[in-house]
Amino acid sequence: MSYNIRRHTQRARRRTRSPSIEKYKPIKVEYGRGYDFDLVNEEQKVSDLECTICHLLLRDAHSTPCHHAFCHGCLVKWNNEQPTRRRMSTRCPSCNVQYDPDKISFNGVVDRMVKTSIDVKCPQHEKGCQWQGKIIDYKDHEEKCDYEMIRCKNKGCQENVARLKMNYHEGNCGYRRVECDFCCLEMSAREIENHHGECPFINVECPNDECQLEYLRQEIPKHLAEECLYEKIACEYSDVGCNQKVQRKDMEEHNKINLAKHQKLMLHDYKLMKMKVAEVERSNKELRDELKKANEKKPQSQKPVLKNKFKSLYVTESEDYVTESEDSDSD
């Protein structure tokens, strides 16, 4: 096989060789477009099946008019990166002969030889994969290779894991979806611990150590506000000045002990209230007096006419009543 390819290449070079390019050395450009496999038989001669641009096994082999084969991707990039885009100005990377980029063609013979005649190792062989075979069969193997690195399917997870470890990873992935056992809310596993710290349907102990009763977290505020005997609450007389806070169970005892104090506070509060009422009454009287004086100083024509209007209305209605009575008597 290698002999046939070499002979084909030599004939092409004899047809295209000219004195001006006799000492030409192929330009090396690393595109990495070819097949990057390690060979089963490292001594196997495959240089004729390598792309002289990326120096890897030919992928999708295409030939120039001067009969040199390259990876199609490498050749397209080579053509696009030349200084000029004019026809017949691109030079072959192998022999430097000018060629028309539109004249490159698929080389099925060479492409088939690359895919079917070389035994290669799986790219994951250093990790433990034992697969060996032809390049044409590698695609099927790649889809099930235990050592192939694949992306975790859990939303948000960016880890790439070997296929044989994926089941374990997915079972422990922080982004796997889990359901809260108490409220049935779904979330990622990495959020569940924080959620349990605030889930309203989890039983928690009363925050008062002496109580030791358990309630749903959402019921704790009501328990503290209305029931817990060990919750410290404000004295019933806090609005009159008692600022002590005692446990609910001790409130009755507190009231008994501080009865005199509470009565004194209530009396003081009552006196303050009387003073405020007296102050309000005094202010009201002053306002009434000022209003009366202001009305007395006004001319008669500017005084309110409401009383006069009421008097007129009363007189008019009375006269109407008298008239109606006289008419009735005459009848």
Say how far apart CA 84 and CA 66 lie, in whole Å: 20
Q: Which tokens is 243 given?
A: 């600022």
Domain of 64?
Answer: 50-147
SS3 277: helix
Residue after which a domain boundary falls, among 99, 115, 147: 147
User: In this predicted structure, what is the pLDDT of residue 185?
Assistant: 95
Say how far apart CA 35 and CA 50 lie, in whole Å: 9
Q: Does residue 193 lie in a domain region?
A: no
User: In this predicted structure, what is the pLDDT of residue 4?
Assistant: 43
Asked if 140 and 218 sit in the same domain, the reply is no
Q: Does residue 225 lie in a domain region?
A: yes
Asked if 93 and 142 sit in the same domain, the reply is yes
Ranges of the chain with pLDDT below 50: 1-31, 305-307, 309-326, 328-331
Asked if 143 and 56 sit in the same domain, the reply is yes
Q: Does residue 35 lie in a domain region?
A: no
User: In this predicted structure, what is the pLDDT of residue 81?
Assistant: 82
| Element spanning 75, H or E | helix 72-80
Asked if 140 and 208 sit in the same domain, the reply is no
Q: Does residue 30 lie in a domain region?
A: no
CA angle 188, 189, 194 (to 5 degrees): 95
Cross-strand bridge partners of residue 180: none
Say how far apart CA 81 and CA 186 lie, in whole Å: 53
Is the pTM for the entire model greater than 0.85?
A: no
Q: Does residue 155 lie in a domain region?
A: no
Residue 187, CA distances (Å) to 127, 151, 154, 158, 218 in order: 35, 20, 12, 18, 20
Residue 67, CA distances (Å) to 88, 107, 143, 243 in order: 15, 9, 35, 102
What are 291-311's pLDDT values in tens digits? Answer: 888 887 776 655 554 445 444
Q: What is the mean pLDDT of the chain?
A: 82
User: In this predicted structure, what is the pLDDT of residue 20?
Assistant: 34
The alpha carbon of residue 288 and the mean position of all alpha carbons in its chain are separated, in whole angstroms, by 69
Q: Which phi and psi angles does 203 have, rounded to 5°? A: -75, 130
Contacts of 275 (CB under 8 A, 6+ apart): none
Overall domain count for the chain: 3
